[in-house]
Each structure stands twice: as C-alpha cells, then as structure tokens.
C-alpha cells in the first residue's frame, strides 16, 4: 500500500462514524445485545438499547400508534412528535408500565380491545 493509498484509506475511515460511541443501553445501562432503536425515522434519530428495552419501547410505540391512529405512513410529523414523547417518557419511567399508564401518558381515556392488547403484548414480549 502506497502512502497515497494510506491517506485515502485514512480519509475514508474518517468519514465513517460509529453508530454509537459505546455500546450501552440508554435505558438500563446493560451492555448485552445492544441494537439501534429508531426514535424517529425521518429525520433519523437512533439510540442504543438492549433487546429487552427495545422490545418494551416497540410495544409502547405500537400502543401509541393504535391509540392515536397515527403512524409514520399517514402523518410523519405527528408520528415523530409522539415517538419523541414516548421515548422521553420511557427513559424516565422506572416502574412496570401498564396499558393504563400508556393511555394516561397519551392524555386519553382509552379502552384497548383484546386483539389490540394481544398485538401489543406480542410486540413487547410481556413488558406490559
């Protein structure tokens, strides 16, 4: 490899940012099975979460989408607002999260149907 090749390689590596500066779950601080969670898709905001916490936030986002009827395909702007709110709330919340907690957090009086609960629980793997 020539010096010029080395310089090219160094330049190209310099433009590659690691996805996360260190692999630690933003919620529980675990370092096991860390993956990127899309807080929002467009613009893209990705945060590191362990698989357990990722399942929980996925369930919360699923519940929020069911309750509000808003998703990234039908209203991107409102979807981003909701997903950011859910994300901040998720990071703050310390205790077990129930469906009532989600409805209260979203500021609505809402009764989930059995089908919706099943769907949310499947998405969240018993986190609700």
Compare residues 28 and 122 and give the one whose CB is closer to Zn ion: 28
Q: Nearest distance from residue 23's CB to Zn ion, in Å?
A: 11
Tell me the closest approach of the beta carbon of residue 55 to Zn ion, in angstroms.
10
- Judged by beta carbon, residue 38 or residue 78, the one nearer Zn ion is 38
Nearest to 111 by CA among 70, 79, 63: 63
Nearer Cβ to Zn ion (53/123): 53
Q: Is 51 left (phi over 0), alpha (psi -120 to 50) or beta?
A: alpha
Residue 37 backbone class (left: φ over 0; alpha: ψ -120 to 50; beta: rest): beta
Strand partners, 74: none
The least distance separating Zn ion from the CB of residue 76, rounded to whole angstroms, comes to 27
Which residues contact Zn ion (rule: CB under 5 A)? 25, 27-28, 30, 50, 53
């Amino acid at each position: 490899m020539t010096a010029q090749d080395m310089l090219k390689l160094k330049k190209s590596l310099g433009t590659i940012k690691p996805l996360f500066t260190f692999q630690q779950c933003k919620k529980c601080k675990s370092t096991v099975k860390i993956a990127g969670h899309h807080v929002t898709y467009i613009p893209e905001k990705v945060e590191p979460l362990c698989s357990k916490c990722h399942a929980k936030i996925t369930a919360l986002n699923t519940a929020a989408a069911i309750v509000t009827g808003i998703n990234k395909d039908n209203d991107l702007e409102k979807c981003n607002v909701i997903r950011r709110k859910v994300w901040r709330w998720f990071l703050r919340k310390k205790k077990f999260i129930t469906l009532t907690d989600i409805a209260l957090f979203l500021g609505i009086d809402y009764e989930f149907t059995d089908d919706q609960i099943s769907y949310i629980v499947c998405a969240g793997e018993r986190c609700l």
